Structure 1
Amino acid sequence: MKIVLLDGYELNRDLNWKLLRELGDCSFYNRTSEDNNEILERISDAEIVITHKTPLNEYVIGKAHNLKYIGIMGTGYDVVDINSAHKNNIIVTNVPTYASDAVAQFTISLLLEVVGQVGLHNQLVHNGNWLKSPDFTFWNKPLFELSGKTLGLIGFGHIAQKVAKLGHAFNMNVIFYNHHSKVVPEKWIKQVSLDELLQQSDVISLHVPQTPTTIDLINKTTISKMKPTVILLNTARGSLINESDVAEALNRGRIYAFATDVVQHEPIRPENPLLKAKNCYITPHIAWAPFETRERLLGITVNNLKSYLAGNLVNVVD
């Protein structure tokens, strides 16, 4: 059985794929481009393909005649044309919830950076600014308390629920919007409409998947309903926001800050308007990347395939 791993660099560098090698004849690639011909050249005789971010579109899936199983190394599955896979009787699996703790932790890290400015002031101290100060303290950017502020979560899946608990630990008021009703046992959290969330929140954090209805969810219209002091966070998908609209709002002072771990095109392109926007914090899609999280991802990816081979399907994308 031929197994092809298309883009394993982030795991290959410090993790061991021994368990996958035991399941078949494996070809491992650190990176594969989005070129259909290159992808097909690598998977043409494969029954099993594992991908992280390398896209498998309708054309590629239709030409890969031996393909029976696609394992996605991640929770989101927009990288694979699911309809085409189903039409060709190909099983697709993903890895749900493997990074919930890490992404929730990172979401709060972004928020703490905005309100606490640790990175900036650490750099200023090392640059000698404190050394030259006549006072025992100095700061050159506003600092804020989270206690009493309202945290609004758009989406309420595993990650958002963990972020909610972390926000509550900081004595924040927590509200959320979800496309369907959720039963929440905690009395300190409340489900509201999207408009209510946009209007009431001091901090808005995005936790929904990329779908046709969520692309550009944050745009001029939704921004117009927010407080001008709002802090916007995105650790979900870059396409959830209209980057030009957010950059313009930052530069006009229509929102206070935007902190994101994701952008529409990754790696980020030099023309991205967020790079020159005021009070914009960008990290290179690393919320999922702690060693423990990636080790868990690898283990579940291998287990998904082992379960498929044993005739016991798990984590199948419907």
Structure 2
Amino acid sequence: MQKIVFLDRATLAPQIRLTRPSFEHEFIEYDHTQADQVASRLEGATIAITNKVPLTADTLARLPSLKLVAVAATGTDCVDKDACEKHGIHVSNIRGYAVNTVPEHTFALMLALRRNLIAYRDDVLNGEWQKSGQFCFFNHAIHDLGGMTLGIIGEGVLGQRVAEIGKAFGMRALFAAHKGREGLGPLYTPWDEVLATSDIITIHSPLTPQTRGMLSMAEFRAMRRKPLIINTARGVLVDEDALVRALDEGLISGIGFDVLSGEPPADDNPLMHIAKRPNVIVTPHVAWASDEAQQALADQLMDNIARFVAGAPVNVVV
């Protein structure tokens, strides 16, 4: 009999269904799991499900029964994959589920910032419309997406979908060549050119040692058109202190971030200090989380487990 333990069920909305597998099993759910609880909760488990709870080398070494770590997300950096390989533990992840939800959230941030929706909403709530004495007023600049240059960092499924939507808005989409690399083919525009010519820069890269902190002060100073910076990927891809400084110095015109370097953010996170500005929107890592996308994720998660038990594993990382 398989023992399946979901360490952080609360990372999926309560209305999302987890279809129980047909094989004989015990299924245990915990809403949240602290680091010092992981080993005891996974004792005797053959399958662990985690979204963001870390599985370290020390913990994995204490779990001889564990055969599969089913990650309820695409990113697997919460799992020590080298340790899993050493102990014969397979790791699976989720793929392709966010092809609508993340790009749509990306454009929601772009539209809200380009059209100053937050500032105008605040004006309406503060009675500015009534004071204007006419049918409309122009307290804040409004800009179209059409005709703008969209710089995309990350050419995977999400980056490609963002490019498609951008072109439908009449934008010119450029895929940035990987920082520090040349000769990557006709899909790519040189890194420095994307920084210099983009009106909006949106990030869809995975987190690797090479991409960590890839946008910092030198990059912001190279952005000639004072672009919006949109990030729905990982917070640590951007130097947050430099980001705030770039905004203060007028090197960029706005920030739309769904991800931060620490989640939930600490009180001293630099973006929390500016989150009430009308040209700053911070959302709580929910770009991925439409009900439709979450259900697709949950269905794929349980299918990954069923196929592994049947001896035909899919979406294998290790």
TM-score of the pair, normalised by structure 1: 0.93
Which deviations, in whole Å up to 9, do the C-alpha atoms of 1:223-255 show, x marking residues without a partner? 121125211110000110011110111111121
Which deviations, in whole Å up to 9, do the C-alpha atoms of 1:7-26 show, x marking residues without a partner? 01133511232424865101
> Which residue in 2 is equivalent to 1:11?
12
**Is contact 2:198–2:225 with CA below 8 Å preserved after alignment?**
no
1:160 aligns with 2:159: yes
> Which residue in 2 is equivalent to 1:87?
86
Rounded to whole Å, the distance in 2 between the matches of 1:177 and 1:70 is 33
> Which residue in 2 is equivalent to 1:187?
none
Aligned residues: 311
Q: What are the equivalent positions in structure 2 for 1:133-282 lying under 5 Å apart?
A: 133-179=132-178, 191-227=188-224, 229-277=226-274, 279-282=279-282
- Give the drift of 1:131: 1.6
**Is contact 2:3–2:44 with CA below 8 Å preserved after alignment?**
yes
- Give the drift of 1:174: 0.9
> Which residue in 2 is equivalent to 1:58?
57
Q: Cα RMSD (Å) of the superposition?
A: 1.8
Rounded to whole Å, the distance in 2 between the matches of 1:303 and 1:176 is 33
Letter aligned with residue 116 of structure 1: R
> Which residue in 1 is equivalent to 2:98?
99
> Which residue in 2 is equivalent to 1:299?
299
Secondary structure, counterpart of 1:71 in structure 2: strand
Secondary structure, counterpart of 1:176 in structure 2: strand
Distance 1:200 1:114, change over 3 A: same
**Is contact 1:228–1:253 with CA below 8 Å preserved after alignment?**
no
Q: What are the equivalent positions in structure 2 for 1:32-71 lying under 5 Å apart?
A: 32-33=33-34, 35=35, 37-71=36-70
Distance 1:169 1:50, change over 3 A: same
**Is contact 1:237–1:263 with CA below 8 Å preserved after alignment?**
yes
**Is contact 2:91–2:317 with CA below 8 Å preserved after alignment?**
yes
Secondary structure, counterpart of 2:211 in structure 1: coil
Structure 1 stretches of at least 4 aligned residues deviating more than 4 Å after TM superposition: 20-23, 180-184
Note the residue ranges of structure 1 that are not aligned, 5 or more in a row: 185-189
- Give the drift of 1:128: 2.1
Secondary structure, counterpart of 2:165 in structure 1: helix
Secondary structure, counterpart of 2:49 in structure 1: strand
- Give the drift of 1:147: 1.6
Deviates more, 1:246-255 or 1:296-305: 246-255
Secondary structure, counterpart of 1:139 in structure 2: coil
> Which residue in 2 is equivalent to 1:316?
316
Note the residue ranges of structure 2 that are not aligned, 5 or more in a row: none
- Give the drift of 1:314: 0.5
Rounded to whole Å, the distance in 2 between the matches of 1:249 and 1:287 is 24
**Is contact 2:67–2:90 with CA below 8 Å preserved after alignment?**
yes
Q: What are the equivalent positions in structure 2 for 1:121-136 lying under 5 Å apart?
A: 121-136=120-135
Rounded to whole Å, the distance in 2 between the matches of 1:208 and 1:68 is 30
Letter aligned with residue 202 of structure 2: S
- Give the drift of 1:182: 7.2
If asked which structure has higher relative contact order (CA below 8 Å, sep 6+), I would say: 2
Percent of paired sites with the same residue:
34
